[in-house]
């Protein structure tokens, strides 16, 4: 993992030079990835308990392994990580982090409720604080990130079982989150969806919307940007949603999709301008 982190940080430096407009967000991501690795090593035991005897039944029934809206979890470790993440934002005077940290420590804000709201989509998206790009909500990102180390370990533990069971849904089999990006792999360009919440990737039909299941080629489309052949945006004109896709098959190294997500925010802007969500 240390070498992977070093390679990723080198990639981030390269993107900073290519696109200074994203430098501040990439600086934040850089600090987050270093902190994530530290907290991965601190995770002991299973924060999100999974009944192993029910895994195959859950997969067959289209149910993710972790039930966030209904489950009860020991979140002290993720909460500690969340506060550490907030301090990254605190240095930049973003999202009134001083007040958020004070209320968390005083018990005025329930971190567990923030997590549940994140998964049940109860947050008012219109009231979210956005960055200058208008498509990146730092606080939402930090809430999701606070769960990432523990969920990554869960993905590593049960990933092979899920892959073998051929999960075919458009949402993550680990946590139920919608995919953040997709990636084309192999000679045939098999499509894999990537969950930004837990880092899991799973194979999915090439011609199908992961959000509504639409398979009508007449209502599925994509757009690209000149001189950026390795990126595209797949759109569905039934549900009006989109997902960014990367094709690094000709590259020497596997992409880090957390980094690619930030480095392609201009694609989010274009999709938003075209009316896609």
Question: What DSSP assignment string belongs to 48-74?
Answer: S---GGGHHHHHHTT--S--TTT----
Question: Is the distance from CB of 222 to CB of 208 less than 8 angstroms?
Answer: no
Q: What is the extent of the structural domain holding 38?
A: 2-273
Q: Where are the beta strands (DSSP E) in the chain?
A: 181-185, 190-194, 201-204, 220-223, 231-236, 242-247
Q: What is the CATH number of the domain that holds 87?
A: 3.90.1670.10
> What does DSSP assign to residue 47?
S
pLDDT along the chain (277 residues), means of 10: 87 92 93 95 85 95 91 90 91 76 88 87 42 57 93 94 96 96 94 96 97 98 92 98 95 90 94 95
SS3 content of the chain, % helix, strand, coil (to 5): 45, 10, 40
User: What pLDDT does residue 121 have?
Assistant: 55
Question: Is the distance from CB of 251 to CB of 241 less than 8 angstroms?
Answer: no
User: What pLDDT does residue 130 have?
Assistant: 41
Secondary structure of residue 234 in the 3-state scheme: strand
Residue with tokens 């924060």: 47
User: What pLDDT does residue 95 have?
Assistant: 58
φ, ψ of residue 182 in degrees (nearest 5): -135, 160
Question: Is the distance from CB of 73 to CB of 48 less than 8 angstroms?
Answer: yes
User: What pLDDT does residue 252 have?
Assistant: 78
Distance CA 56, CA 37 (A): 30
**Environment class of residue 67 by beta-carbon count within 10 Å: exposed (0-12), middle (13-18) or buried (19+)?**
middle
String of DSSP letters for 58-117: HHHTT--S--TTT-----HHHHHHHHHHHHHHHTTT-TTHHHHHHHHHHTSS-HHHHHHH
Question: Is the distance from CB of 55 to CB of 63 less than 8 angstroms?
Answer: no
Query: Could you tell me the two tokens for 42?
Result: 């601190």
User: What pLDDT does residue 245 have?
Assistant: 97
Q: Judge if pTM exceeds 0.85.
A: yes
**The total number of structural domains that make up the chain:** 1
Helix H or strand E encompassing 163: helix 138-164
């Amino acid at each position: 993992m240390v070498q992977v982190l070093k390679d990723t940080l080198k990639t981030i430096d390269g993107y900073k030079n290519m696109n200074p407009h994203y430098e501040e967000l990439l600086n934040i991501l850089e600090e987050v990835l270093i902190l994530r690795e530290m907290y991965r090593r601190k995770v002991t035991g299973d924060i999100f308990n999974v009944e192993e005897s029910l895994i195959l039944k859950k997969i067959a029934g289209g149910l993710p392994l972790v039930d966030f809206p209904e489950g009860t979890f020991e979140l002290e470790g993720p909460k500690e990580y969340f506060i550490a993440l907030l301090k990254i934002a605190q240095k930049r005077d973003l999202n009134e982090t001083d007040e958020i940290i004070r209320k968390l420590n005083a018990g005025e804000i329930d971190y567990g409720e923030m997590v549940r709201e994140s998964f049940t989509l109860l947050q008012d998206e219109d009231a979210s604080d956005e960055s200058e790009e208008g498509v990146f909500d730092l606080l939402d990102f930090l809430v999701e990130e606070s769960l990432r180390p523990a969920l990554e370990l869960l993905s590593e533990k049960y990933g092979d079982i899920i892959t073998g069971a051929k999960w075919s849904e458009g949402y993550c089999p680990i946590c139920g989150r919608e995919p953040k990006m997709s990636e084309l792999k192999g000679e045939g360009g098999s499509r894999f969806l990537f969950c930004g919440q837990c880092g899991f990737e799973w194979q999915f039909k090439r011609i199908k919307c992961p959000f509504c299941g639409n398979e009508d080629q007449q209502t599925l489309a994509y757009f690209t940007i000149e001189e950026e052949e390795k990126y595209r945006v797949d759109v569905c004109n039934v549900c009006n949603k989109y997902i960014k896709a990367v094709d690094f098959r000709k590259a020497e190294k596997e992409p880090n999709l957390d980094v690619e997500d930030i480095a392609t925010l201009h694609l989010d802007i274009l999709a938003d301008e075209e009316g896609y969500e």
